[in-house]
Amino acid sequence: MNECRRFDYISDMKTVALLGVVFGHCLLFYVGNPFFPETAGFISKGAMLIITFFDASLISGFVFCSGFLFANSISRKNRTMLQNLANRIKRLLIPYYLYGALWVVPLYTFFNIKCFGRPENANYLTGYKYMLLGCFSDHLWFLWMLFWVASAFILMKPLLTKKLLPLTFVISVGLAFIVQIFLTDFPYFKLSQTAPYFICYFIGICAFHFIERIEKIPTLLLFILTAIFFIGSMFYYKAAGVHFALGWLCKLCGILTSFCFFTALERFEAVRKIRTAKLWRYTEEHSMQLFLFNCPFVYLYFRVLYPLIGQYTFLCAIANFIITMLTLYVTVWIQDKIKELVRKNAKK
């Protein structure tokens, strides 16, 4: 497949995954998850069901899409290994340090918000130290994780070019097990978080190689497969509690739930019309920026909303999501204006 083609449903899947993570953050206060320093004080069964599916499907689905698009780029771009690595540094590590230095560390220190990797009551200097080491990252952990996973497959590009998928699969699974067994306690640069995502990325590459056959699957069968894989994904926490490899299988079910669903939706004219709407096009174009800014807004708005409607799980979560998204649109708009001014001044 050498022709230049845009896969709209893969872009939709990536965008919805990032928006879903933001909504998932709004629900974390109701599942007993220590991601934020405060919780609602009770566990919502409805929130638990949604978070189970989200944890099985969203980030793993985004990584799947990244693998799919990497395979697509190999088929039509003749980038060298160094060019590919430089591209990942530009798109993943530079944003990690920019948003970490200018957004995460200042805000979390100013509001003294607890989060993974940030020592309690850490000052600015300590916060920057742990951010630079990839320990205090909060939601930005995802950038380091994706960098490691993508870099591994960039190194395996010769295998992919020759379509040696079985050998690539063996190496991917081997990397996943090595990280899971030997690096789970390694605290730096999120290496410990990468294990299942090597497999997710590889599945995305496979999907690209077989996409012509997949797109011929009847719509009804795709929806049936969506339902079957969804059921499998809902065993994520129970399966992971038995053995981590079973948890990986549930993540695979989560990926395939989303992939089958969005592949089927692509065939409906209404979906194409929604895709042309200005708000959706803006959201898709800026989805990564919206995600990178979302914390700690979610937490700060929960502080305000909880005394008012915090006992109503979904009312509070939906209100938090709407207010957060509106704030994110404004924040990204301001960021774009600042970039525009910097460019204009640089030309003078």
Dump pLDDT digits (tens) for 114-161.
887 888 889 999 999 999 999 999 999 999 999 999 999 999 999 999
Nearest 5 degrees, angle CA 153-CA 154-CA 155?
Answer: 85
CB atoms within 10 A of CB 279: 9
Over residues 242-266, mean pLDDT: 97
User: Looking at residue 323, what is its pLDDT?
Assistant: 98
Q: Cα(303)–Cα(27) distance, rounded to whole angstroms?
A: 13
Distances (CA, A) of 167 to 69, 89, 156, 198: 20, 26, 10, 14
- Asked whether 13 and 65 are in contact (CB, 8 A), the reply is yes
Over residues 76-80, mean pLDDT: 79
**Torsional class of 26: left (φ above 0), alpha (ψ -120 to 50), beta (otherwise):** alpha
Over residues 156-171, mean pLDDT: 95
CA atoms in the 13 A half-sphere facing the CB of 88: 22
Q: Cα(70)–Cα(76) distance, rounded to whole angstroms?
A: 10
Nearest C-alpha neighbor of 31 from the set 48, 52, 56: 48
Over residues 242-265, mean pLDDT: 97
First-to-last CA distance in the chain? Answer: 44
pLDDT band at 3 (very low <50, low <70, confident <90, very high): low
Q: DSSP secondary-structure letter at 135?
A: S
- Asked whether 207 and 72 are in contact (CB, 8 A), the reply is no
Q: Cα(334)–Cα(336) distance, rounded to whole angstroms?
A: 5
CB atoms within 10 A of CB 49: 12
Supply the pTM of this predicted model: 0.95
User: Looking at residue 34, what is its pLDDT?
Assistant: 73
Given a cut of 80, whether residue 173 has pLDDT beyond it is yes
Over residues 195-210, mean pLDDT: 97
Given a cut of 80, whether residue 33 has pLDDT beyond it is no
pLDDT band at 39 (very low <50, low <70, confident <90, very high): confident
- Asked whether 27 and 21 are in contact (CB, 8 A), the reply is no
User: Looking at residue 348, what is its pLDDT?
Assistant: 66
- Asked whether 301 and 311 are in contact (CB, 8 A), the reply is no
Given a cut of 80, whether residue 174 has pLDDT beyond it is yes
Q: Cα(101)–Cα(132) distance, rounded to whole angstroms?
A: 9
- What own/partner pairs with CB < 8 Å and gap ≥ 24 does 108-117 have? 108/136, 108/138, 108/296, 111/296, 111/300, 113/36, 113/37, 113/296, 113/299, 114/36, 114/37, 115/35, 115/36, 115/37, 116/35, 116/141, 117/187
User: Looking at residue 75, what is its pLDDT?
Assistant: 75
User: Looking at residue 32, what is its pLDDT?
Assistant: 87
User: Looking at residue 277, what is its pLDDT?
Assistant: 93
Distances (CA, A) of 196 to 61, 64, 124, 308: 12, 11, 33, 39
Considering only residues 232 and 3, tell me which one the structure prediction assigns the higher pLDDT. 232
The pLDDT mean for the chain works out to 94
Q: φ, ψ for residue 52 (rounded to 5)?
A: -60, -50
Over residues 263-282, mean pLDDT: 93
Q: What is the pLDDT of residues 273-319, one digit of tens each?
A: 898 999 999 999 999 999 999 999 999 999 999 999 999 999 999 99
Which H or E run includes 239?
helix 236-242
Nearest 5 degrees, angle CA 93-CA 94-CA 98?
Answer: 120
- Of all residues in the chain, the percent with pLDDT exceeding 90 is 85
Q: Cα(71)–Cα(165) distance, rounded to whole angstroms?
A: 11
User: Looking at residue 14, what is its pLDDT?
Assistant: 97
User: Looking at residue 4, what is its pLDDT?
Assistant: 58
- Of all residues in the chain, the percent with pLDDT exceeding 70 is 98
